[in-house]
């Protein structure tokens, strides 16, 4: 069975509201003749005259009177479906968001983000998931609501992003480390020190800081870990040295000695990333606003 022309519902609503062909035509910015043709199609479709002549005006038939409120509701509901949904009652919002990010981001920004979210929406929970790779599949499949990180070639082309802040690499050793007592650390001393590096793949070639260091920079790598928190825990209790993002790890490095890298390094932008299907969701827009505020 062929589906009727649903545009006729809008025409019928205008005719029943205005009670005249001329008024309905003005309402929909049509010519009177076009509206007359539309009324003829409505009569054919419904099998009812709908509006009949009474003196100089038109009056609805019993069928038209019966349909008036139903048609009005259908048109309103259809309009609501096609309009952006800006309704959001944060006080009643109950949702769990999964954020995939680094342990450094959680350590530095997690407490303030939880506090900020609880102020507006006490029914919202945040789950922080360790980011072990750059694969966008979790965002695409909806298993992750939001990510933070550096945009790379492996980031899915459809993924939306917004920069949060710029960061830079710094070196760090424990308080009392021999190199920390010796004053400025030069390039040779830095490269020859015993390093702990962060690599999600577990391979030295996959160190997360490598893209921002000079090509060919060869450090004496003693051990590899999967996160900044683990790297700094080792540095705090040994003579190892780590290279970490400054803002990401500021609270993790409390009581330690940090220094600018003595070799050329690139600053980088840390962004939040999400799938485009969440673009217009009011609650997701609010969450992104909270993350921007906290990271600003």
pLDDT value at 75 more than 70: yes
78 or 146, higher pLDDT = 146
In the CATH scheme, what architecture does the domain 169-266 have? 3-Layer(aba) Sandwich (3.40)
Are 238 and 231 within 8 A, CB to CB? no
Provide the pLDDT confidence category of residue 154 given band limits of 50, 70 and 90: low
How do residues 229-283 score in pLDDT, each as one tens digit? 999 999 999 999 999 999 989 888 999 999 999 999 999 999 999 998 888 889 9
Please give the helix or strand (H or E) that residue 52 lies within, else none.
Answer: strand 51-54
Sheet holding 268-274, edge to edge: 124-130, 95-101, 146-149, 268-274, 160-167
Provide the pLDDT confidence category of residue 170 given band limits of 50, 70 and 90: very high
Sign of the C-alpha dihedral computed for residues 143, 230, 251 and 260 taken in this order: negative
Are 275 and 139 within 8 A, CB to CB? yes
Topology of domain 94-167+269-295 in CATH is D-Maltodextrin-Binding Protein; domain 2 (3.40.190)
pLDDT value at 158 more than 90: no
Provide the pLDDT confidence category of residue 1 given band limits of 50, 70 and 90: low
Q: Note whether 94-167+269-295 and 169-266 share their fold.
A: yes
The residues spanned by each domain of the chain are 7-82, 94-167+269-295, 169-266
The proportion of the chain whose per-residue pLDDT surpasses 70, expressed as a percent, equals: 94
Residue keyed to tokens 């009056």: 59
């Amino acid at each position: 069975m062929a589906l009727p022309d649903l545009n006729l519902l809008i025409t019928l609503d205008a005719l029943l509201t205005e009670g005249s062909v001329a008024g309905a035509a003005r309402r929909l910015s049509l010519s009177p003749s076009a509206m007359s043709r539309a009324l003829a199609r409505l009569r054919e479709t419904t099998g009812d005259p709908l509006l009949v002549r009474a003196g100089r005006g038109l009056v609805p038939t019993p069928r038209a009177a019966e349909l008036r409120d139903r048609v009005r509701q259908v048109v309103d509901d259809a309009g609501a479906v096609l309009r952006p949904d800006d309704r959001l009652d944060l006080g009643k919002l109950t949702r769990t968001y999964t954020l995939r990010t680094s342990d450094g981001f959680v350590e530095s920004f997690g407490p303030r983000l939880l506090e900020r979210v609880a102020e507006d929406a006490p029914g919202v929970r945040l789950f922080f998931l360790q980011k072990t790779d750059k694969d966008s599949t979790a965002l695409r499949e909806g298993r992750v609501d939001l990510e933070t990180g550096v945009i790379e070639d492996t980031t899915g082309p459809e993924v939306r992003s917004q920069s949060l802040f710029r960061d830079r690499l710094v070196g760090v050793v424990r308080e009392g480390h021999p190199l920390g007592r010796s004053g400025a650390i030069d390039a040779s001393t830095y490269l020859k020190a015993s390093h702990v590096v962060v690599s999600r793949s577990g391979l030295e070639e996959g160190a997360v800081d490598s893209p921002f260091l000079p090509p060919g920079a060869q450090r004496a790598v003693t051990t590899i870990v999967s996160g900044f928190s683990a790297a700094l825990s080792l540095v705090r209790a040994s003579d190892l040295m780590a290279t970490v993002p400054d803002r990401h790890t500021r609270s993790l490095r409390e009581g330690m000695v940090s220094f600018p890298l003595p070799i050329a390094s690139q600053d980088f932008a840390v962004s939040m990333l999400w799938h485009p299907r969440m673009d217009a969701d009011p609650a997701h827009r609010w969450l992104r606003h909270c993350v921007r505020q906290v990271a600003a």
